[in-house]
Amino acid sequence: MDKATEKLAAAEIFSEAEKEAVYKAIYTRRDVRDQFLPTPLPDDIVEKLLQAAHHAPSVGFMQPWNFILIREAAQKQKIWEAFNRANEEAAQMFDAERQSLYQKLKLEGILKSPLNICITCDRSRGGEVILGRTHNPQMDLYSSVCAVQNLWLAARAEGIGMGWVSIYHDRELKDLLGIPEEIEIIAYLCLGYVDALYEEPELQAKGWRKRLELSDLVSEGQWSAVPLAADTTHE
């Protein structure tokens, strides 16, 4: 590009109110499962959320994501049934004590949320050789996850709850959504207005696991395996 045509904007520091809003979205973001209201999301708000996701960083600017919007009740029912089959399998993977708690957790809002979104990654977008992915082929997947985070924070700012469903068989979900074999599913998301949010992560509130101490996860200069507390669940 001709240097004369490049445009640069001033790297302005956010105002205190703007900075507070960013951190508020980060710290109050929650994985929502059961607080959804039936109110449909306005089309202009959905467009804003998708634009936020579409402005995520991506390696080589390949923008590998696609967004599938699911609103139809019958389609959501089939997807919930796929989740439920996988969820019953998942419960059997835990020991008896954890299995009992697991079965009490609500882990999705597929039917209750008015909008579901599946985000995918097209790993061929941009050609065979992608700037920045030459030595780390996973970077396109990480880029797509950044789109999920952008969407999540924008939703929180709009007063919209979002939950990430990850318990399903890829093949089954691909068949239900007509996703080609070569396309990767990154996230299945449930979105909608909510009547309340947990003050802390729901899995922490319900005794599944506590937040780790940041000080145990930071080291200078090289990896340091800091011993963590043996039990990070609530007693």
Query: CA-to-CA distance for 74 and 79, rounded, in angstroms?
Result: 9
**Could you list the residue range(s) of the whole structural domain that residue 64 is in?**
30-197
Q: What is the pLDDT of residue 3?
A: 62
In a domain, 221, yes or no: no
Average pLDDT over residues 23-46: 98
Percent of the chain whose pLDDT exceeds 70: 94
Q: What is the pLDDT of residue 5?
A: 73
Average pLDDT over residues 168-193: 98
| Residue-wise pLDDT tens digits, 106-159 | 999 999 999 999 999 999 999 999 999 999 999 999 999 999 999 999 999 999
In a domain, 209, yes or no: no
E-state strands within 85-198: 115-121, 160-165, 184-193
Return the CATH number at 185.
Answer: 3.40.109.10
Statement: residue 43 has pLDDT above 70: yes
In a domain, 90, yes or no: yes
Mean pLDDT of the chain, nearest integer: 94
The answer to whether the CB of 189 falls within 8 A of the CB of 117 is: yes
Q: How many domains does the chain have?
A: 1
In a domain, 2, yes or no: no
Query: CA-to-CA distance for 148 and 59, rounded, in angstroms?
Result: 15
Alpha-carbon separation of residue 135 from 59, 108, 129, 130, 131 (angstroms): 12, 36, 10, 10, 10
In a domain, 102, yes or no: yes
In a domain, 24, yes or no: no
Residue 234: which pLDDT band, with cuts at 50, 70 and 90?
A: very low
The DSSP output letter for 226 is P
